[in-house]
């Protein structure tokens, strides 16, 4: 199954993809994770995109499309995939149609206030990338990762200013994809507010329907 997770930042696409990849036995391809690991490793791509990610802007389509196309060619994606964070523009969506048209596009729906609450309270492990939340999912020990004892930090793009930027980029560039895929008949709406396990059950039901 070729699946796309669409939705605003903070809707929980990454969290859900982590749960769904086990439930559906599909690889989880996150463009955000690919960019962040390149930044961490200091690769040429990482150096090129660091400032863009920190400010909450979008990496140029040409770069992003090439990375996704290469990744989807790998053997683990031949039986399908979960694409998380791609496409984010109409041009990216048009490109995806030419090499791996999605069968279902999940539209995660969440109110702006909740998005801001989720993103501003998010803390991630510097070491293993595990994600926590000051109120919704606090770590057992303050400032430390439950999994690996690593230091918990705020993502540079989770500051108030970058959050505003990501939301306006979402509205201008990504939201039009909702209409694009609705017209194609592949869009499936999901309420992203409940607990992740509940959203997962809804997702599985929606995919069977």
The set of catalytic residues is 13, 88, 122, 155, 166
- Position closest to ligand ADP via CB: 32
End-to-end CA distance of the chain: 14
Please state, in angstroms and rounded to a whole number, the distance separating the CA atoms of residues 70 and 48. 18
Give the one residue of 12, 27, 56, 102 binding ligand ADP; rule: CB under 6 A: 56
Q: Is 32 in the site for ligand ADP (CB under 6 A)?
A: yes
Q: 188 in helix, strand or coil?
A: strand
From the CB of 92, what's the least distance to ligand ADP, in Å?
6
Q: Is the dihedral of CA 161, 156, 93, 44 positive or negative?
A: positive
Least distance (Å) from Zn ion to the CB of residue 143? 12
Minimum distance from CB of 208 to ligand ADP (Å)?
26
Distance CA 91, CA 94 (A): 5
Asked if residue 86 binds ligand ADP (CB under 6 A), the reply is: yes
| Residue position matching structure tokens 């989807």 | 72
Closer residue to Zn ion in complex, CB, 46/150: 150
Binding mask 161-200 for ligand ADP (x = CB under 6 A): -----x----------------------------------
Residues 82/13, Cβ–Cβ less than 8 Å: no
DSSP at 175: T
Residues 7-26 that bind ligand ADP (CB under 6 A): 9-10
Residue 102's binding partner out of Zn ion, ligand ADP, none, with CB under 5 to 8 Å set by partner kind: none
Q: Which is nearer to ligand ADP, 28 or 166 (CB)?
A: 166
> If DSSP codes are grouped into helix, strand and coil, which group holds residue 189?
strand
CB of 107 within 8 A of CB of 178? yes
State which of residues 53, 125, 192, 200 lies at the interface with ligand ADP (CB under 6 A). 53
Beginning with the edge strand found earlier in the chain, give each strand of the sheet holding 122-125 in spatial order.
Answer: 131-133, 122-125, 152-153
Compute the distance between CA of residue 207 and CA of residue 188 in angstroms, rounded to an integer: 8
> Which residues sit at the interface with Zn ion, rule CB under 5 A?
125, 127-128, 130, 145, 147-148, 150
> Which residues sit at the interface with ligand ADP, rule CB under 6 A?
9-10, 31-32, 35, 52-53, 56-59, 64, 85-88, 92, 157, 166
């Amino acid at each position: 199954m070729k699946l796309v997770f669409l939705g605003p930042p903070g809707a929980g696409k990454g969290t859900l993809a982590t749960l769904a990849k086990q439930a559906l036995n599909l690889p989880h391809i996150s463009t955000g994770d690919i960019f962040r690991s390149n930044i961490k490793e200091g690769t040429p791509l990482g150096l090129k995109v660091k400032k863009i990610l920190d400010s909450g802007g979008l990496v140029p389509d040409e770069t992003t499309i090439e990375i996704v196309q290469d990744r989807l060619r790998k053997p683990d994606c031949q039986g399908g995939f979960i694409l998380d964070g791609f496409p984010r523009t109409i041009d990216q969506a048009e490109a995806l149609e030419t090499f791996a048209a999605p069968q279902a596009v999940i539209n995660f729906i969440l109110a702006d206030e909740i998005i801001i609450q989720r993103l501003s309270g998010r803390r991630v492990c510097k070491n293993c990338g595990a994600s926590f939340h000051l109120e919704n999912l606090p770590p057992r020990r303050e400032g430390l990762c439950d999994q690996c004892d690593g230091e918990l930090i705020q993502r540079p793009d989770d500051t108030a200013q970058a959050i505003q930027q990501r939301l306006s980029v979402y509205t201008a560039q990504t939201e039009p994809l909702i209409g694009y895929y609705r017209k194609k008949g592949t869009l499936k709406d999901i309420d992203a507010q409940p607990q992740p396990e509940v959203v997962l059950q809804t997702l599985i039901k929606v995919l069977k329907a």
